[in-house]
Structure 1
Amino acid sequence: MSAAPRSAVAIETHTVDHVAPAERHGHSRDLFTLWFSTNIAPLPIVTGAMVVQTFHLNLAWGLMAIVLGHLLGGVVLALASAQGPRLGIPQMVQSRGQFGRYGALLIVCVTALIYVGFFTSNVVLAGKSIQGLVPAVPMPLAIVVGALSATAIGVIGYRCIHTLNRWGTWVMGAGLLAGFAMMLTQPLPADFLTRGGLNASGFVATLSLGVIWQLSFSPYTSDYSRYLPEAVGIARPFWATYLGATLGTILAFSFGVVAVLAVPAGNDAMAAVAQATGWLGPVLMVLFLLNIISHNALNLYGAVLAIITCVQTFAAGWTPGVKVKVVLSSLVLVGCCSVALMASADFIERFIGLVLAMTMILVPWASINLIDFYLIKRGDYHIPSLFAADGGRYGRFNGHAIAAYAVGILVQLPFANTALFKGPYADLVAGADLSWLFGLLVTCPLYFWLAYQGSPAQAARLQAASAQ
């Protein structure tokens, strides 16, 4: 039974608690529009431009690496999203079923930090966009206006976010396609097809960036599918998320590549977009600004849920409501605006470097999450235990998951090639960070083996499944 429709501007009453079957609503296609629209924004366009400007690939090889990286990484994102309808809880709460009540605390805190960082970087972008459209607006005011708008959407919550992205899919999709047409029908530089070339490090770095980009959303993916009726199953939310997320990001990354190639070398990515699209440029800037604000609401929403999950770890009987969400959102708003007002000119580039480093923490979590849900428990979690003070059947700590998680991080360190740390084998492929690959290859089988060995019930279930 689905819930009766409510207004898109009605404030969401749930935070991290379980969404009962009678309150479920929506369709799997909502996940396509959410992930498609939210990824057509300046940040992925600027990141896509790095394929030419930083990794020095040409158009053909750059597009090939972009497509391959996002198609691979999108599998993790979509598998995480498909868990939401089955469980009806946020992604980070579910992690207690894998790591134990207190064992999940580290990844929840890291997730909160990442999305606070994403919110701050997008606040900076929104401020720059507002000032670019209306130069008379002071940068501090522009930053505050952009942040307040995103906060309002995030506080209203789930329905508003989905509604805005349903509209945004058509508007942003049409705007981006018109932008492609405008750029490709203008006179192009002589080196449009030949600027850059093929180099192994650039190709692998671009592919890795696509994988990491998709994977970075996975800790809060099911937050936006948990209201769907359980009857939608696994396949429909998987494909809706996968196609929306990969198509949206591939188009946005590719837009950045084409834009910087369509103008003489040396231009800033967003300046290149404005120059290459002619009269359409100002229209796209307005659309991008609106999308930054809408996209940033997801970051605020996810950050607040992660913060609540952190606090609730030590307060099992606490079920926060709207007031707590408003207070926490306001605190995040004030803190992020303060950082944004002091941000350096290269803040966004530095933040992207930080996110790349953070993937060493996210990769083993994603591995354990997917193995546990799809192969070990097969979606069968005891919801009351996830909120019990002692962790219920999952306990305070799950030693097997924590051990696999620690090994998953350690095995990446020798191959890490990030702004924060460079391992002794970082140049296995010069300039590319391959640590995520070793993290996946080691953590997945290790956790499966530990879970199989550690629980007689799980072992019996796995043996029965393998005999079928």
Structure 2
Amino acid sequence: MQATGKAGTGGPRVERRSIDFVPENERHGSPGQQFTLWFGANMQITAIVDGALAVLFGADALWAIIGLLIGNLLGGAVMALHAAQGPKLGLPQMISSRAQFGIFGAVIPLVLVVVMYLGFAATGTVLSGQAVSLILHTGTPAVGMIVFGVLTIVVATLGYKYIHMLGRIATVVGILGFTYLGIRLLTSQDVGALLGAGSFEFPTFLLAISLGAGWQLTYGPYVADYSRYLPSKTPARKTFMSAYFGTVIGSQWSMTLGALFAALALPKGARFLDGQVAFLGNLSGGGLIAVVIYLVIVTGKLTVNTLNAYGGYMTMLTSVTAFTRKSAVASWTRFAYVIGFIGLSVLIAVLASPDFIANFKNFVLLLLMVFIPWSSINLVDYYLVSKEKVDIPALYDLNGRYGRWNKTALLSYAIGIVVQIPFLAQTLYTGPMTELLGGADISWLVGLVVTAIVFYPLAKRNSNAPAEMVYPTEPDPAESDSGAIAPLAGSASNTAAV
């Protein structure tokens, strides 16, 4: 984010920061931008599909909506706690996890997070490709997927400011488009009958909660990436509340529509399963207004897909630099990483699209098993053990206080994964506890709580957290306009606030 004078005061520029610390003179923005980013990122068709899954897999529409709300509220709180770390640390989310796992140890969950980003980028590309193809009348979704992939590369390469700008656009577009779809639904269908049909079933209610919570929790590995440029004195409460309400309101709005659309498309959701994008186009009334709805779909998906690409780039770079011992990279590196990431996600999308709905449900629930323990460890350490104090230069130093491996975190992480297995409800495996619960998958809740219980006392006993925040001695570790790789300067004795 290169700018003359104080960064952020001029117009949008191509971002040059990567995994390095953002100095105070480059901080800008307000917590309100977190609301529009996460609201816009959730006003999109994949969230609609997520809400629809609760009904398609057996829940009554009313109880599905209530379950999704509970899941969004619970998962959104965890997600927003990660967001609140950004302004104080000035770092991407996954770099900060080196404080818990060690510089090499953090690579283990990082690899799994990259897979998560790829999966969401691919599933989003399936739906966006359908919308682009319908707009351009290409006749094949593959062409639309490629066009959408190119758009994602452009925005993700430009970086932070453009991503937030797109979030604001998606917020306005999403409100207009989804409000119109809601009005169409209310005026053309008996929504009361949709909500009144069926009855309460505990297993499917728990599934709805899991779908809502899982949706929010998977934002955790990159949510702080988009709050790290806020001024360091930004109150954590304001960052938390802005991200929380943005993500909860946006996702619940979309998922509620999804649950109603799926109930409308019953029995067995055949009409919805045949083509989610076309279903919304037909509901809108067809013709020109359908094209507008397709554009709304593309805008919302472009926002979140850009988050996936940008987050994927950051995560891959964090993994690589653990071994290269660098803290900043050339600007062109983002372009290369993003092209490779999006190219692979488009390929996956083309191959996976025929079984999209089933794959998406299993993918979301399976990812929680490997991601939840990481989130639990990161939050427990930051808020309860280290008490929001981090030695930032040591995150790039193999011989620093965090070292190469943290056995306590890695052991807790492994236990957090294993303990979830009996509670899994997957296509290839259903745990014995899941059968006792009637098929409900609560593995995410078990993993979150058990990991925290195991990790906290061990980490508290072996804590090496600094007494105060330790910031880099050099406020700008990558001054070279050439974008050459630069090491991070720092001192463990420097505890002055930026």
CA distance in 1, matches of 2:376, 2:231: 26
CA distance in 1, matches of 2:265, 2:355: 22
CA distance in 1, matches of 2:232, 2:27: 8
Moved over 6 A (4+): 456-459
Find the partner of 2:221 among 204, 219, 222: 219
Taking structure 1 as reference, are residues 346 and 84 closer, same or farther at Cα in structure 2, changes over 3 Å only? Answer: same
Cα distance, 1:458 vs. partner?
8.7
CA contact (8 A) 1:354 1:419 kept: no
CA contact (8 A) 2:390 2:466 kept: no
Find the partner of 2:314 among 291, 301, 305: 305
SS for the counterpart of 2:194 is coil
Cα distance, 1:314 vs. partner?
0.5
Cα distance, 1:285 vs. partner?
1.9
CA contact (8 A) 2:43 2:253 kept: yes
Mark the runs of 5 or more structure 2 residues left unpaired by the alignment. 468-498
Cα distance, 1:240 vs. partner?
0.2
Task: Give the structure 2 partner of residue 230 of structure 1.
Answer: 232
CA distance in 1, matches of 2:6, 2:135: 43
CA contact (8 A) 1:259 1:276 kept: no
Taking structure 1 as reference, are residues 28 and 206 closer, same or farther at Cα in structure 2, changes over 3 Å only? Answer: same
Taking structure 1 as reference, are residues 325 and 57 closer, same or farther at Cα in structure 2, changes over 3 Å only? Answer: same
Q: What residue identity is the alignment partner of 1:40?
A: M
Bigger mean CA deviation after superposition, 280-289 or 155-164: 280-289
TM-score normalised according to structure 1 size: 0.93
Deviations 1:297-316 (Å, cap 9, x if unpaired)?
11100001111111101000
Task: Give the structure 2 partner of residue 185 of structure 1.
Answer: 187
Where do 1:1-400 residues align within 5 Å?
3-8=7-12, 10-58=13-61, 60-188=62-190, 191-263=193-265, 265=267, 266-268=270-272, 269-279=276-286, 280-317=289-326, 319-390=328-399, 392-400=400-408
CA distance in 2, matches of 1:378, 1:95: 14
Q: What residue identity is the alignment partner of 1:428?
A: L
Taking structure 1 as reference, are residues 274 and 429 closer, same or farther at Cα in structure 2, changes over 3 Å only? Answer: farther
CA contact (8 A) 1:27 1:228 kept: yes
Cα distance, 1:264 vs. partner?
5.5
CA distance in 2, matches of 1:349, 1:129: 20
User: How many residues in Structure 1 have an aligned counterpart in Structure 2?
Assistant: 456
Task: Give the structure 1 partner of residue 488 of structure 2.
Answer: none
CA contact (8 A) 1:3 1:24 kept: yes
Taking structure 1 as reference, are residues 189 and 447 closer, same or farther at Cα in structure 2, changes over 3 Å only? Answer: closer
Q: What residue identity is the alignment partner of 1:404?
A: S
Cα distance, 1:457 vs. partner?
7.4
CA distance in 1, matches of 2:277, 2:265: 11
CA distance in 2, matches of 1:195, 1:346: 28
CA distance in 2, matches of 1:66, 1:131: 31
Deviations 1:112-144 (Å, cap 9, x if unpaired)?
111012112222222111122333354332211
CA contact (8 A) 2:93 2:221 kept: yes
Task: Give the structure 1 partner of residue 427 of structure 2.
Answer: 419
Task: Give the structure 1 partner of residue 483 of structure 2.
Answer: none
Cα distance, 1:422 vs. partner?
2.4
CA contact (8 A) 1:130 1:137 kept: no
CA contact (8 A) 2:53 2:361 kept: no
Q: What residue identity is the alignment partner of 2:31?
A: S
CA contact (8 A) 1:189 1:261 kept: no
Cα distance, 1:418 vs. partner?
2.2
CA distance in 1, matches of 2:224, 2:115: 18
Cα distance, 1:421 vs. partner?
3.3
Q: What residue identity is the alignment partner of 1:7?
A: G
CA contact (8 A) 2:37 2:246 kept: yes
Q: What residue identity is the alignment partner of 2:429?
A: F
CA distance in 2, matches of 1:45, 1:294: 15
Bigger mean CA deviation after superposition, 433-442 or 76-85: 433-442
Q: What residue identity is the alignment partner of 1:53?
A: L
CA contact (8 A) 1:451 1:458 kept: no
Bigger mean CA deviation after superposition, 235-244 or 283-292: 283-292
Mark the runs of 5 or more structure 1 residues left unpaired by the alignment. 460-468
SS for the counterpart of 1:26 is coil
Q: What residue identity is the alignment partner of 1:19?
A: V
Cα distance, 1:289 vs. partner?
1.5
SS for the counterpart of 2:434 is coil
Cα distance, 1:183 vs. partner?
1.0
Deviations 1:392-448 (Å, cap 9, x if unpaired)?
101111111112111111111111112353222222322211111111221112211
Deviations 1:20-65 (Å, cap 9, x if unpaired)?
111111110000000000111111111211222212313x212211
Bigger mean CA deviation after superposition, 239-248 or 61-70: 61-70
CA distance in 1, matches of 2:131, 2:50: 16
CA distance in 1, matches of 2:464, 2:112: 32
Deviations 1:312-333 (Å, cap 9, x if unpaired)?
0100036212111111112123
Identity %: 33
SS for the counterpart of 1:111 is helix
> Does 2:449 match 1:445?
no
Task: Give the structure 2 partner of residue 464 of structure 1.
Answer: none
CA contact (8 A) 1:133 1:282 kept: yes
CA distance in 2, matches of 1:195, 1:281: 29
Taking structure 1 as reference, are residues 446 and 136 closer, same or farther at Cα in structure 2, changes over 3 Å only? Answer: closer
CA contact (8 A) 1:102 1:313 kept: yes
Cα distance, 1:96 vs. partner?
0.3
> Does 2:431 match 1:428?
no
CA distance in 2, matches of 1:303, 1:210: 22
Bigger mean CA deviation after superposition, 421-430 or 225-234: 421-430
Deviations 1:74-100 (Å, cap 9, x if unpaired)?
000000000000100011100000111
SS for the counterpart of 1:343 is helix
Cα distance, 1:282 vs. partner?
3.5
Deviations 1:163-204 (Å, cap 9, x if unpaired)?
111122122112212211121011438942333321111100
Q: What residue identity is the alignment partner of 1:80?
A: H
Taking structure 1 as reference, are residues 441 and 428 closer, same or farther at Cα in structure 2, changes over 3 Å only? Answer: farther
Taking structure 1 as reference, are residues 457 and 359 closer, same or farther at Cα in structure 2, changes over 3 Å only? Answer: closer
Q: What residue identity is the alignment partner of 2:27?
A: R
> Does 2:414 match 1:410?
no
CA distance in 1, matches of 2:193, 2:402: 59
Task: Give the structure 1 partner of residue 485 of structure 2.
Answer: none
